[in-house]
């Protein structure tokens, strides 16, 4: 049976409201289209005036199956404690200026994609810095059986599993751009560490940083892999 990528994006007056994707077999496509459409129409960010759902067959010979990262939780009672944990973790991985990474995380916002940052120089490497790198073409292998409240975690760990599987990416750090969602994470060395209190509740700040440790000549291939390689995440 053919495998399909089903992608949804919704906007209102040209402003992005929500987006999501699934990778499913042919028989599951109709239900999946319904579920994603409903999600677009019921999004807390507002009612869309345009919803686009795209169904596209996937080249299965180029699909990769990856085991999900292990999950760990740390205690962080405030953004200052979260910062200390992230800065320390990045330093341990050999990131030259981890304070600069925290600064990027808490000052750059509103990107559609993520920042790709050189772990040594701290320089941003995305071809279009106004857009960032938009990781796509990934899903969990299993159907979603968790509560809707778990969606942030479920989607984020799939993304972090794909991103940190790239041989030149040593870590990902994320603060949610959802004003009411303050849990973020550090993903590296096979573990996804959830960090509460990454920001003050109500703050619209939020983005992702991928730490790149590889040759400059391979940045374009890395971006292409993140955006286009089809990945299924197994084990959650």
CA distances from 37 to 3, 22, 34, 48, 231 (A): 20, 12, 5, 11, 23
Over the window 79 to 108, marking each residue x when it contacts Mg ion by CB under 5 A and - when it does not, the resulting string is ------------------------------
Contact between 174 and ligand PML by CB under 6 A: the answer reads yes
Binder among 122, 153, 189, 191 for ligand PML (CB under 6 A): 153
Instruction: Say if CB 185 and CB 209 are below 8 A apart.
Output: no
Residue in the block written with tokens 């292998």: 141
Closest approach, Cβ 219 to ligand PML, in A, equals 24
Alpha carbon distance 198, 80 (integer Å): 8
Q: Is 155 in the site for Mg ion (CB under 5 A)?
A: no
Q: Is 137 in the site for ligand PML (CB under 6 A)?
A: no
**C-alpha distances out from residue 106 to 102, 190, 193, 217, Å:** 6, 25, 18, 29
Per-residue contact string for residues 176-215; x = within reach of Mg ion by CB under 5 A: -x--------------------------------------
CB of 61 to ligand PML, least distance (A): 30
136 binds, among Mg ion, ligand PML, none (CB under 5 to 8 A by kind): none
Considering the complex, what minimum distance in angstroms separates the CB of residue 14 from ligand PML?
21
**In whole angstroms, how close is the CB of 18 to Mg ion at the nearest point?**
8
CA distance 12 to 18: 10
User: Of 5-13, 56-64, 104-112, 177-185, which segment contacts ligand PML by CB under 6 A?
Assistant: 177-185
Smallest Cα–Cα separation from 4: which of 58, 79, 51?
58
> Which residue's CB comes closest to Mg ion?
177
Q: Helices 79-92 and 98-107 sit at what angle, rounded to 10 degrees? A: 140
Rg (CA), the chain: 17
Count of residues engaged in binding ligand PML, rule: CB under 6 A: 12
What residues does 208 pair with on adjacent strands? 174
| Sole binder of ligand PML in the list 43, 124, 152, 229 (CB under 6 A) | 152
Is 202:86 a contact under the CB 8 Å cutoff?
A: no
Burial of 130 (0-12, 13-18, 19+ CB in 10 A): exposed
210 counts as binding ligand PML under rule CB under 6 A:
no
Asked whether position 176 contacts ligand PML by CB under 6 A, the answer is yes
Binding region for Mg ion (CB under 5 A): 177
Binding region for ligand PML (CB under 6 A): 152-153, 156, 174, 176-178, 181, 183-185, 194
């Amino acid at each position: 049976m053919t495998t399909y990528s089903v992608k949804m994006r919704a906007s209102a007056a040209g402003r992005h409201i929500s987006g999501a994707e699934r990778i499913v077999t042919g028989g599951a496509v109709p239900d999946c289209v319904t579920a994603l459409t409903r999600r677009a129409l019921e999004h807390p960010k507002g009612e869309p005036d345009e919803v686009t759902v795209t169904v596209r067959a996937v080249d299965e010979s180029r699909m990769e199956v990856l085991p999900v990262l292990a999950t760990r939780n740390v205690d962080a009672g405030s953004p200052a404690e979260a910062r200390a944990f992230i800065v320390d973790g990045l330093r341990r991985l050999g990131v030259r200026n981890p304070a600069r990474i925290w600064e990027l995380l808490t000052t750059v916002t509103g990107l559609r994609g993520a920042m790709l940052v050189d772990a040594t120089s701290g320089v941003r490497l995305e071809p279009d810095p106004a857009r960032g790198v938009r990781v796509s073409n990934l899903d969990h292998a299993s159907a979603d059986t968790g509560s809707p409240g778990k969606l942030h975690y479920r989607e984020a760990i799939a993304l972090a599993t794909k991103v940190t599987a790239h041989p030149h990416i040593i870590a990902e750090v994320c603060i949610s751009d959802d004003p009411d969602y303050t849990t973020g994470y550090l993903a590296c060395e096979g573990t996804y560490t959830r960090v509460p209190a990454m920001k003050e509740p109500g703050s619209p700040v939020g983005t992702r940083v991928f730490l790149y440790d590889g040759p400059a000549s391979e940045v374009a291939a890395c971006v292409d892999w993140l955006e286009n390689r089809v990945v299924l995440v197994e084990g959650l």
